[in-house]
Amino acid sequence: MNKGSKRLLTITQNGLLFIYAIFALFPLIWMVLLSIKSDTQMYTTTFNFTPTLSNYTEVLLKTDYFKYLLDSLIVAGGAVIISVIAGVPAAYALARYDFKKKEDIAFQILSFKFAPEILVVLPLFMIYQTLGLYDSYFGLIWVYQLISMPLLIWVVRGYFEDISVEIEHAAQVDGYSWYQIFFKMLLPLIKPGLVSAALLAFIFAWNTFTFPLLLAGSKIQPITVAITKFLGTDTAHYGQLAVAATVSALPAIIFALCIQKHLVRGLSFGAVKG
Amino acid sequence: MSTTSNSITPDLNKLPFKTRIRPYLIVAPALIITIGIMIPFIMAIFLSLTNYSFRRPTFSFIAFQNWSRILSSREFWHALWVTIQYAFFSTLVEMVLGVCIAMLLNSLNNWFSKFLRVALIFPLMIAPITATIVWQLMLNSSVGIVEKFLNIFGVFNFPWAAAPSTAMLTVVMIDMWVNTSFVMLLVLAGLQSLPKSPFESAKIDGGSAWFNFVNLTLPMLKPSLYIALLFRLMSALQEYAIIFGLTKGGPGDTLMNLSLTSYQTGFKFQRIGQSLPYILVLWIIVFFTAKFIVKKQRAAQRQAAGLES
């Protein structure tokens, strides 16, 4: 290939990427732009306007917005904590021990991720009504396990498998107990992987819509459900809707930036080691 | 993902009972927490055989009446068709586009591609319902930027989600905006972990770029591609949030897939017994599709391992 056509190829490649980048990123820029635009300028201009924070004060101070964020935090955070406590030992057992039905159990756990959400929600709605779990933090945290547990177990299992079993044997020979090995040696070794799996599980739980829509009512309203109300009640206040969307997206984006290196591995449940 | 070489207890039968059940005990809490949630699944099969409804205090066993009525109804076949269309088009577009973007990013190594590798994860991390709302604002005919953009090209009042003919296009586009990055990330990781030596020997043999792509890159990338396909197809078959957020299944019943139809029959019309066959059929489709793709993925993995050596 000569120099001229190679140059042309690079320009084309950059150009194609640029077009896709506009498609992928412009909606986000637009969302932020709307959030700092006043209602009066909403219809008249696109880019020429005087930025204002009035939408932010309106949404953050005069609505229950922080309560919705807190609900999301409690439910998603609670779900991840329970998944970590129950899931990390399970991941260890699935990585290290050989026992009958091991792969079956591992796939059983993975299959929860692929179960249609509505299939779970319909009967669960009735059970929750009778048990009094409908519209409760505990009920939502429990059902969120279907999102966070498979992810955590499968990803962390992969990180345990990466550690050579020889290290454990050596520590055993040195007289360390199983608990000491697990907490003092293995956990610190998988810590980066564990933290990123937990943060990704949190993002998924934070973003989920179907479960809280159908299993929570007026008392508990995670942000994904609450945001649809900004759409319904007052259609003229697009700026406020944009604020609600922007602020609710921030935690997920910030966490995603923190776990960039482990993201592919988490997203593919450990199948693709990025 | 075999761990036999890595395990602590190689021979099961010679060990004391206590050691043998330890792994089960360790796994148990996680399994119980999730299985508890799966009781509904068993219940769903049973309830689909009854006329259970929130409106009546009692219910009775009616065997396959729900099933036969639904399988012979127009709603069911329409919902099945919408489900398949949505899953097919969104997955196809995301796979093709995701692979293209990943190849472009992989071949360029300038600041722009480095920036995009980070920035393109943003759409994926936003809640799909939020993404749908933002797109709704963009496509809105009074404040929407897309309308103004199309006006430049002489297109006025493109209906998007409001017309039956363009509603599917609109949801697939939003799904594509959210999820193309997922395929892109997996493929990019796959591309960057490709071994160098097969390509070097191909270079000596003088193979064309296209020959290398078809005979080396693609086979070695296949395991990652199947994983991407598995995750995308599974969630596209069940998509709920994007369609619900955009039109709630409308206009009319244009976008009523199996998930939405089941939800509507169960919650809006309160006929639980009748709502369950829709979603059970969906589950059967999801289950067998997943099994098939996992099998393919394993075969591809073995083939790729053969190529690398």
Alpha carbons within 13 angstroms on the beta-carbon side of residue B52 total 18
Residues with Cβ within 8 Å of A251's Cβ and at least 6 positions away in sequence, in order, are A203, A206
> Contact, B76 vs B67, CB < 8 A?
no
Q: What is the pLDDT of residue B15?
A: 64
**CA neighbor of B165 nearest in space, from B76, B251, B38, B289:** B251
Distance, CA of A79 to CA of B94 (rounded, Å): 30
**CA neighbor of B136 nearest in space, from A222, A251, A228, A247:** A228
Q: Which of A10-14, A37-41, A187-191, A259-263 has the lowest mean pLDDT?
A: A37-41
Q: Span A105-123, mean pLDDT?
A: 83
Q: Span B28-39, mean pLDDT?
A: 76
Q: Which of A65-69, A110-114, A206-210 has the lowest mean pLDDT?
A: A110-114
Contact B130 A203 (CB under 8 A): no
Of residues B18 and B74, more confidence is placed in: B74
**B18 CB neighbour count, 10 Å cutoff:** 8
**CA neighbor of A115 nearest in space, from B34, B51, B23, B273:** B34
Q: Residues A127-150: pLDDT tens digits? A: 888 888 888 899 999 999 988 999
CB pairs A-B closer than 8 Å: 291
Work out the angle at residue A29's Cα, subtended by the Cα atoms of residues B191 and B144, and round it to the nearest 5 degrees. 115
Mutation target among A88, A127, A160, A272 for the B interface, most CBs of B within 10 A: A272
* pLDDT at residue A176 tops 90: no
The two three-digit tokens of residue A122, written as one number: 């319909």
- The residue assigned the tokens 């499968």 is A154
CATH topology of domain B64-308: MetI-like fold (1.10.3720)
* pLDDT at residue B8 tops 60: no
**CA neighbor of A144 nearest in space, from A89, A55, A71:** A71
Q: Residues B230-249: pLDDT tens digits? A: 999 998 999 999 999 888 88
Q: What is the pLDDT of residue B252?
A: 83
Distance, CA of A259 to CA of A201 (rounded, Å): 12
Contact A118 B41 (CB under 8 A): no
Could you tell me the sign of the dihedral formed by the alpha carbons of B273, B278, B279, B281, in that order? positive
Contact A99 B30 (CB under 8 A): no
Contact A118 B259 (CB under 8 A): yes
* pLDDT at residue A74 tops 90: yes
How many angstroms separate the Cα of B250 from the Cα of each of A233, B209, B255, B278, B282?
Answer: 20, 46, 6, 18, 20
The two three-digit tokens of residue B187, written as one number: 């493929």
**A73 CB neighbour count, 10 Å cutoff:** 16
**CA neighbor of A126 nearest in space, from B256, B50, B75:** B50
Q: Span B183-201, mean pLDDT?
A: 86
Q: What is the pLDDT of residue B78?
A: 93
Of residues B309 and B175, more confidence is placed in: B175
Q: Please state the φ and ψ torsions of residue B134, each to the nearest 5 degrees.
A: -60, -45
Q: Residues B251-298: pLDDT tens digits? A: 888 899 999 999 988 888 778 888 888 989 999 999 899 889 988 988
The residues pairing with B50 across neighbouring beta strands, listed in sequence order, are B61
> Contact, B224 vs B187, CB < 8 A?
yes
Of residues B20 and A96, more confidence is placed in: A96
Distance, CA of B283 to CA of B238 (rounded, Å): 9
Contact B118 A227 (CB under 8 A): no
Q: What is the pLDDT of residue A235?
A: 57
Mutation target among A39, A202, A264 for the B interface, most CBs of B within 10 A: A264
Q: Span B88-110, mean pLDDT?
A: 93
A18 close contact with B: CB closer than 8 A: yes
Q: What is the pLDDT of residue B267?
A: 82
In the predicted model, what is the mean pLDDT of chain A? 87
The two three-digit tokens of residue A63, written as one number: 């609505």
In the predicted model, what is the mean pLDDT of chain B? 84
Contact A122 B272 (CB under 8 A): yes
Which percentage of chain B shows pLDDT scores above 90? 34
B101 close contact with A: CB closer than 8 A: yes
Of residues B307 and B245, more confidence is placed in: B245
Grade residue B5 by pLDDT with cuts at 50, 70 and 90. Answer: very low
Q: Which of A149-153, B105-109, B248-252 has the highest mean pLDDT?
A: A149-153
Q: Write down the ipTM of this complex.
A: 0.89
- The residue assigned the tokens 């043999």 is B205
Q: What is the pLDDT of residue A103?
A: 81
The two three-digit tokens of residue A73, written as one number: 């935090």
Q: Residues A25-60: pLDDT tens digits? A: 999 998 898 888 887 777 666 676 778 888 888 888
Q: What is the pLDDT of residue B184?
A: 94
The residue count of chain B comes to 309
Q: Residues B52-77: pLDDT tens digits? A: 776 666 777 777 778 888 888 888 99
Contact A119 B125 (CB under 8 A): no
Contact A46 B97 (CB under 8 A): no
Minimal CA separation from A57 to chain B, in Å: 20
**How far, rounded to the nearest angstrom, does the alpha carbon of residue B22 sit from its chain's CA centroid?**
36
Q: Which of residues 21-50 of A touch B (CB under 8 A)?
A: 21, 23-25, 27-28, 30-31, 34, 42-43, 46
Contact A142 B33 (CB under 8 A): yes
Q: Span B127-133, mean pLDDT?
A: 91
Q: What is the pLDDT of residue B309?
A: 58
A147 close contact with B: CB closer than 8 A: no
**CA neighbor of A123 nearest in space, from B207, B58, B33, B40:** B40
The two three-digit tokens of residue A249, written as one number: 């997206």
Q: Which of residues 107-166 of B touch A (CB under 8 A)?
A: 107-108, 110, 112-113, 116, 118-131, 133-138, 140, 142-143, 145, 148
- The residue assigned the tokens 């909606």 is A27
B269 close contact with A: CB closer than 8 A: no
* pLDDT at residue A4 tops 90: no
Work out the angle at residue A153's Cα, subtended by the Cα atoms of residues A147 and A159, and round it to the nearest 5 degrees. 135
Q: Which of residues 48-67 of B touch A (CB under 8 A)?
A: none
Residues in chain B within 8 Å Cβ distance of A228: 129, 133, 245
Q: Which of B125-129, B204-208, B295-299 has the lowest mean pLDDT?
A: B204-208
Minimal CA separation from B147 to chain A, in Å: 12
* pLDDT at residue B4 tops 50: no
Grade residue B142 by pLDDT with cuts at 50, 70 and 90. Answer: confident
Alpha carbons within 13 angstroms on the beta-carbon side of residue A253 total 14
Contact B143 A43 (CB under 8 A): yes
Where in chain A are the domains? Answer: 3-54, 61-267
Q: Span B165-186, mean pLDDT?
A: 93
**CA neighbor of B176 nearest in space, from A20, A268, A252, A19:** A20
A252 close contact with B: CB closer than 8 A: yes
Facing B185 at nearest CB: one of A42, A122, A263: A263
B20 close contact with A: CB closer than 8 A: yes
B104 close contact with A: CB closer than 8 A: yes
> Contact, A165 vs B10, CB < 8 A?
no
Where in chain B are the domains? Answer: 64-308
CATH architecture, domain defined by A61-267: Orthogonal Bundle (1.10)
